[in-house]
């Protein structure tokens, strides 16, 4: 099987020849540590790092690599100017590309707020939408007809990708995620009570915008998966009640799922950090059949979830990053814990978020070896 076939067979509870080996990836500070501990300096790409670690464990299988992607830009156009507003002794007040005013450490540039370069703690000072007038201005930045939202020659690119042997996912921001980007987390949660009319208007806008962008994409290209980002859970609960999720978000998720299924897309995935146990049944109701990253520290137990939800939903991630950092028996026991779900299907195991810098290169290589043995690569 090629990577695309193996990926689909795994997530859809089919019969893959082996489970995709997808350990995860370290961000800048993690890779810097690894380079100091034995990873060659010239190897810095996540895929190349994972292949190198696999080879160190004795792996000899041909390493599958993804090729071109079909990118669609949902982001605001134009973006806000990235700039430093005030420098302090240890921190700086900056404006990011989304229009947020926030405080970050002096060791970072505004680029770190645009891309997931590293783990960056920030304090929000002001968010871009604080009034109805702000919202009217924000909507102007989401013109569907902006040419740069699609590849320069989408028909040509789609033709090149028609017989690909790697999976391609179309990623968009979910409704909760996007409103949080505009309003800020606290303002969003309070506005569900203080101004539900505006919340519904913004949700309707995003539902229509993504639906149109999705359908425009499908005129050129059919991806293997439609995937949305929603980060909407704390360590113990959803950020809004399940009742509110069903009222405000479920209709949008269903709408997008119907578009995906009508196009023949079989994997409908969602990403959310935090404890998602009370969200999974709502996602299943929406037609979502895959979720990630299954953070263990937040109380997510894929063993229990498999018993509770059966094969209605598949998972990616689920390997406790704290156990990778600890190494030794803790890492091996974590592998034993999730092994039954790997064997049961519908699970691509990997680090349950970005790999943090407390993971040594030695432990990472051992972790990759454990994954390789349990997914059929060794």
Tokens encoding 79: 């973006």
Residue 88's CB is within 10 A of a number of other CB atoms, namely 9
Positions in the chain short of pLDDT 50: none
For the chain, give the percent of residues with pLDDT over 90.
98
**pTM for this entry:** 0.96
Q: Where in the chain is the domain with CATH 3.20.20.210?
A: 3-75+130-375
Residues 6+ apart with CB under 8 A from 116: 27, 354
317: left (phi over 0), alpha (psi -120 to 50) or beta: left
What fold characterizes domain 3-75+130-375? TIM Barrel (3.20.20)
Radius of gyration of the CA atoms of the chain, in A: 21
- Angle made by CA atoms 205, 211, 212, in degrees to the nearest 5: 90
- Contact (Cβ atoms closer than 8 angstroms) between residue 28 and residue 357: no
Residue 138's pLDDT is what? 98
Give the per-residue pLDDT at 213.
97
């Amino acid at each position: 099987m090629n990577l695309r076939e193996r990926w689909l067979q795994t997530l859809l509870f089919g019969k893959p020849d082996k489970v995709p080996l997808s350990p995860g990836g370290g961000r800048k500070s993690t890779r810097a540590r690894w380079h100091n501990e034995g990873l060659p300096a010239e190897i810095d790409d996540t895929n190349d790092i994972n292949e190198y670690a696999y080879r160190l464990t004795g792996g000899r299988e041909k390493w599958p690599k993804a090729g071109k992607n079909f990118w669609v830009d949902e982001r605001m156009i134009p973006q806000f100017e990235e700039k430093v507003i005030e420098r302090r002794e240890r921190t700086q007040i900056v404006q990011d590309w989304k229009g947020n005013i926030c405080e970050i450490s002096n060791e970072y540039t505004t680029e770190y707020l645009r891309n997931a370069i590293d783990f960056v703690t920030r304090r929000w000072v002001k968010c871009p939408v604080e009034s109805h007038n702000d919202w009217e201005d924000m909507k102007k930045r989401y013109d569907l007809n902006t040419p740069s939202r699609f590849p320069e020659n989408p028909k040509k690119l789609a033709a090149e990708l028609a017989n690909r042997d790697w999976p391609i996912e179309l990623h968009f921001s979910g409704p909760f995620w996007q409103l949080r980007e505009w309003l800020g987390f606290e303002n969003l949660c309070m506005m569900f009570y203080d101004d539900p009319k505006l919340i519904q208007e913004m949700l309707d806008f995003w539902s229509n915008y993504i639906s149109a962008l999705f359908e425009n994409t499908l005129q050129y290209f059919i991806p293997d998966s439609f995937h949305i980002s929603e980060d909407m859970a704390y360590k113990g609960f959803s950020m809004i009640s399940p009742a509110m999720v069903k009222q405000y978000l479920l209709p949008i998720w269903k709408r997008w799922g119907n578009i995906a299924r009508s196009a023949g897309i079989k994997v409908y995935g969602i990403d959310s950090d935090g404890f998602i146990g009370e969200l999974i049944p709502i996602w299943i109701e929406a037609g979502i059949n895959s979720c990630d990253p299954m953070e263990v520290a937040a109380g997510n137990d894929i063993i229990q979830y498999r018993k509770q939800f059966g094969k209605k939903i598949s998972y990616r991630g689920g390997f406790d990053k704290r156990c990778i950092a600890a190494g030794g028996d803790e890492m091996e026991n974590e592998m034993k814990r999730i092994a039954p779900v790997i064997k049961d299907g519908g699970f691509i195991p990997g680090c349950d978020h970005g790999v943090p810098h407390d993971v040594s290169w030695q432990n990472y290589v051992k972790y990759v070896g454990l994954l390789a043995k349990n997914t059929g690569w060794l």
